[in-house]
Structure 1
């Protein structure tokens, strides 16, 4: 009876490892990593061809963002490979005793299994039945065992490839850090951006001292401008709902959702990776950049009259108040320290997104749900 139970366990439920699913997942991860590597190569080529300050900013931005995308793809690959490999290993360990018993029986039968090779205490009829049972299940058992071996090999190969790619990225981390430094310098060196107004430092300081809410500050922010050029940038209403997110990440808290302290805000909170670049979704005027209340460093962008994007929680902000920055231009960088790539395969999903960016959109004097403006991004 124990032999029959073991055979049924292995043939019925013991080896449901989903080989095709593993292979498909491996292919998808490999494709994502390949696309990210292609983007990084293109960005590097663009950087070499860049001449002016604006071209250099664009190329450096592409290089850093491509690295972030590649890093995310490889982390996901390492994590998926590790989880699948661990699941298969635990499954095999849990049924090691049954496998050992079955292998012992098959080994005693030799290569040419015959029903008479098994002796059954109930006599000849029991021996014949046992022999037929083993003869029937041997091919199926062999097929299942080969499937498990193939799955394990596939997962280990996938993990080896991801670890090699992660090692390559880790080796190039210093170059990316240099690219971030170069980007900061290129942004500081720009002199060809149009400027719509000059900030009045005294008015700004007075407004900050008198403000106790983001809403009040945003409502009065235009009062700090001097010599403002009349007019506005072209309307972006036709792009509502299709703008890219300012940062690569996932939505941690939606508009109106309470945080751990029970506080609700009209904006959304994005969970991002350390050092992630924050870019302007559209061409916009920088209305304010600097610290504000408990929001950390804040950037207020004005794409058109009566429309403002508030980005809060960055470690560094780029640009000068009054400048008009092109779409896709970095306006800030998140804080934090990037985790060691070798640890990503052991961590749970999302644990590498340790920084948070608050995003608020204001139409006229009132905040609206930012998700009505941005295309949904899985990060």
Structure 2
């Protein structure tokens, strides 16, 4: 037998009398130590007139918090007026913070799932031993009401005293073991419940922080795109032309080639990328250049950025480059399961050469990172940048949806085939290409993110 009840049964064994089994019965029924007995009367209901006051106070607090956040955001936007670098810095910092909070949320939710399982297992274990515990309690209660002759020390009943002593000598060690085992279980149950309560509080706080960051990112992106439309308006005809090219092309490599040669914004972006004269070979990069958030060209070459690029979204890797796809081919990129509505950031500096739907990719974003490198991302619900726009590494460029959708087309050849099976979460697909050929993106991820990708 392996049920546990702690100090309660131990107290009964030490002779505390009939009161001890009553407390022990509470523990067996799952009442926390120090809590009210199961038979205790419920507290009187809160008068109806008191409830609106409490709810109103909480609502007013939420409104005040939202108003203060809006005031801070307006002040930040005013400070960033006519300052592209400041606006970009706020975008990158807020997105990085949101990604960190999302990662913490994922870890806390995983921890809570484990604690829930532990609580359930302990509850089942205690419930299975309820019959045995009832028998032990009954024996203790009978002993309390009618002490055996050995405890009364009646010399005229020596035989009964000897028999009782033999019986107690055999019974008490077993009961003590049961008491210690049950005590350990209940102590563990109390610890798990305490951790679970703390995790729930952390989860509530993190969700609130993420909501604030999401609203902030949305407002900053709106301001960024407003300025983009004013400074570099995209003619509707050019957007239509890009969409028509995408509809008439079934191959990603051909799509990029045609866009950068036939569509004005994409062609200008390709020319700007080709005009960058930064070192193309790996070497020691100028990290100080990354601090300039007002830059309009890549701070360092893509080849030099190995080990420096942030993952575009927080999440759990599902499939990695080179992994078998189950149908005779291999994956050409990285697929990440994300949270619903997660912000997606650009992995590297570059120019947007396509943003829109494409074949089985769904919403497809292609960034020309210079040096013959392109970054492809698919599976987003909404893209928040425009054709020809320059973006920084870590800057928000899209938003994941609230429902799972195919994200990673099988790229055994140049033509996109059927999607990989979906999970219960949205999926982001990321692919790096060099001169039209997929390359392993793993060496490019920053150390901490690379470790997360590798599990």
Fold match, TM over 0.5?
A: yes
Deviation digits for residues 282-317 of structure 1 (CA, Å, limit 9, x no counterpart): 322222212111211111123331111100111111
Distance 1:70 1:376 in 2: 16
SS of match in other structure, 2:117: helix
State which drifts further: 174-183 or 297-306.
174-183
Is contact 2:239–2:387 with CA below 8 Å preserved after alignment? no
Distance 2:167 2:245 in 1: 89
In structure 1, which of residues 363, 366, 374 is the aligned counterpart of residue 434 of structure 2?
Answer: 363
Is contact 2:88–2:395 with CA below 8 Å preserved after alignment? no
Aligned pairs for 1:131-142 (under 5 A) are 131-142=168-179
Summarize the Cα distance change of 1:304–1:331 in structure 2 as closer, same or farther, 3 Å threshold.
Answer: same
Aligned pairs for 1:296-315 (under 5 A) are 296-315=362-381
Is contact 1:187–1:319 with CA below 8 Å preserved after alignment? no
Structure-2 residue corresponding to 1:151: 188
SS of match in other structure, 2:169: helix
Greater CA radius of gyration, 1 or 2?
A: 2
Structure-1 residue corresponding to 2:92: 58
Structure-1 residue corresponding to 2:287: none
Structure-2 residue corresponding to 1:325: 391
Q: How far has the Cα of 1:95 moved from its partner?
A: 1.4
Summarize the Cα distance change of 1:263–1:236 in structure 2 as closer, same or farther, 3 Å threshold.
Answer: closer
Is contact 1:57–1:187 with CA below 8 Å preserved after alignment? no
Deviation digits for residues 255-290 of structure 1 (CA, Å, limit 9, x no counterpart): 355668887542232111110111112322222212
State which drifts further: 300-309 or 197-206.
197-206
Structure-2 residue corresponding to 1:22: none
In structure 2, which of residues 126, 151, 157 is the aligned counterpart of residue 92 of structure 1?
Answer: 126
SS of match in other structure, 2:364: strand
Structure-1 residue corresponding to 2:245: 207
Q: How far has the Cα of 1:250 moved from its partner?
A: 1.3
Structure-1 residue corresponding to 2:254: 216
Deviation digits for residues 57-101 of structure 1 (CA, Å, limit 9, x no counterpart): 235424543543453344234323222111110111111112222
SS of match in other structure, 2:359: coil
Q: How far has the Cα of 1:329 moved from its partner?
A: 0.4
Distance 1:101 1:271 in 2: 51
Structure-2 residue corresponding to 1:188: 225
SS of match in other structure, 1:271: strand
Q: How far has the Cα of 1:211 moved from its partner?
A: 1.1
Deviation digits for residues 92-136 of structure 1 (CA, Å, limit 9, x no counterpart): 11111122222333343449x98957xxxxx99986554323333
SS of match in other structure, 1:310: strand
Q: How far has the Cα of 1:335 moved from its partner?
A: 0.8
Is contact 1:46–1:59 with CA below 8 Å preserved after alignment? no
Summarize the Cα distance change of 1:263–1:291 in structure 2 as closer, same or farther, 3 Å threshold.
Answer: farther
Distance 2:72 2:325 in 1: 42
Structure-2 residue corresponding to 1:269: 335
Is contact 1:306–1:363 with CA below 8 Å preserved after alignment? yes
Distance 1:260 1:124 in 2: 76
Is contact 1:221–1:287 with CA below 8 Å preserved after alignment? yes
Q: TM-score, normalised by structure 1?
A: 0.70
Query: Does residue 377 in structure 1 map to residue 452 in structure 2?
Result: yes
**Structure 2, unaligned runs of 5 or more:** 5-68, 81-86, 152-159, 278-297, 405-421
Q: How far has the Cα of 1:194 moved from its partner?
A: 10
Distance 2:242 2:119 in 1: 57
Is contact 1:116–1:131 with CA below 8 Å preserved after alignment? no
Is contact 1:193–1:323 with CA below 8 Å preserved after alignment? no
Q: TM-score, normalised by structure 2?
A: 0.59
Distance 1:328 1:300 in 2: 15
Distance 1:150 1:201 in 2: 65
Q: How far has the Cα of 1:332 moved from its partner?
A: 0.7
Distance 2:149 2:403 in 1: 66
Query: Does residue 283 in structure 1 map to residue 349 in structure 2?
Result: yes
Is contact 1:54–1:190 with CA below 8 Å preserved after alignment? no
Summarize the Cα distance change of 1:183–1:134 in structure 2 as closer, same or farther, 3 Å threshold.
Answer: farther
Summarize the Cα distance change of 1:89–1:202 in structure 2 as closer, same or farther, 3 Å threshold.
Answer: closer
Is contact 1:200–1:226 with CA below 8 Å preserved after alignment? no
Summarize the Cα distance change of 1:301–1:231 in structure 2 as closer, same or farther, 3 Å threshold.
Answer: same
Deviation digits for residues 124-161 of structure 1 (CA, Å, limit 9, x no counterpart): 99865543233334444333222222111122222223
Is contact 1:273–1:352 with CA below 8 Å preserved after alignment? no
Summarize the Cα distance change of 1:125–1:253 in structure 2 as closer, same or farther, 3 Å threshold.
Answer: farther
